[in-house]
Structure 1
């Protein structure tokens, strides 16, 4: 199967680390012209340099906070001013947290998550949808299995991803007559720095957590960034030309389980 994005303009948000970095690198290998967005200038520059080495195509690197209107507007304007078109929008930028309804002391955590994970995606898509209509392009939103599975401790993040999943379905229905496809890719347990950032656990503890999590995966392996990137690229390609409004799960068959003792413990807290 030949995947080729030569002369296609692809915008990847949250491209400075993790799944975003893996996705950017794979699109670069396939010849795409890249617009990369991130908040960490040093990391973003390093990723852009690695992408340029793939095919010699220099990406546009945009340092912006997509949780702000200014950051979203800057991203949309600079991308279109530079490339004059857009073929693929990958909404990957997100923040997470560990919170429950009983441990949330104020609304800041909730607002921070929804500001980037939902409002930022809505706003950026709103601004770039007309350009995608012109090119008959497509959108890939990066969600998570916690958008459909129930997990204690993932309250605002799980709600945000559930909102993103439905956003995909709604916008896919609206844009389908215009020739624009909109889909979601939902990673399962994936080896990135995301969990370490929101929990602050050590590398040793993180590896132990991954090992424990892998016992709930029938295929026996946690995902890595390239697993998600390959699905994003496939969904964005012409090989998926009639796929829209779909949530594609990449998780090795991950099974959420909860024991009765866990339930008893939580009930008494």
Structure 2
């Protein structure tokens, strides 16, 4: 499905990003994978290469650095000559205890919003040449306020609007832009955000109980939706934000 297509994925060393990289590899994509942890990134890169025998480009970078954003695009273009798909996946959570601190706010916004905006803007010349597309990883918390994660919720709400504005801007040139809004996915992001293993287990057990489908979303589920939106099967879809949350946003079905 993605043979001869170059797919650039940020935050590819773990979680949803890693699952998305593996899914694209299975579909014969040529990959440029960005992450902060070289060891984890190398592991994912090797798994991708086993799946499609195409060695991915691995880029260790901090997406909050303007210099690194330029490096990501330059190295990808120099290696492969083009960019067909940009997956803005990299993101961080906010520690509940520090939700009111300026430092937490700045860090979350710099990673989740500013980097996505700037990378998309700087990737636009490449995407215009290929009539490519962008998929942003947002969250159901863009529409559901959660007081203990205020900066994170704000950043994801802004990502949804960025998706729509960019789709409006680039649509006449044939470039599509969409977002995927997952419910909670069990990744390292929660632990990095300050949650313990016990906290995570308790939270996800509660989600499975309350979600109408009685399960939680997995990274592989999100990856399949991302691939659909990035594919030629979605040529009439742009400016849309797709919820994938096992029905969590609908509320508890109770005993109905």
* TM-score over 0.5 (shorter chain): yes
Structure 1 runs of 4+ aligned residues shifted over 2 Å read 103-106, 255-258
Alignment of 1:247 with 2:254, yes or no, is no
Aligned to 2:149: 154
Cα RMSD, aligned residues only = 1.5
Separation (CA, whole Å) in 2 of partners of 1:55 and 1:194: 28
Q: What TM-score do you get using the length of structure 1 for normalisation?
A: 0.90
The match for 1:119 among 109, 114, 117 is 114
Aligned to 1:88: 85
Moved more, 183-192 or 168-177: 183-192
Alignment of 1:187 with 2:168, yes or no, is no
**Matched residue count:** 252
Aligned to 2:26: 29
Aligned to 1:219: 213
Moved more, 241-250 or 214-223: 214-223
User: Where does the alignment leave 5 or more consecutive residues of structure 1 unmatched?
Assistant: 259-269
Q: CA deviation at 1:248?
A: 0.4
The match for 2:42 among 33, 42, 45 is 45
Change (3 A) 1:105 1:211: closer
The match for 1:210 among 200, 204, 209 is 204
Separation (CA, whole Å) in 1 of partners of 2:101 and 2:245: 33
Does the aligned pair in 2 maintain the 1:98–1:198 contact within 8 Å? yes
| Partner SS state of residue 16, structure 1 | coil
CA radius of gyration, larger in: 1
Q: CA deviation at 1:199?
A: 2.0
Does the aligned pair in 1 maintain the 2:84–2:131 contact within 8 Å? yes
Q: Spell out, residue by residue over 1:226-252, the C-alpha distance to the aligned partner (whole angstroms, 9 max, x if none).
A: 000000000100100000000000001
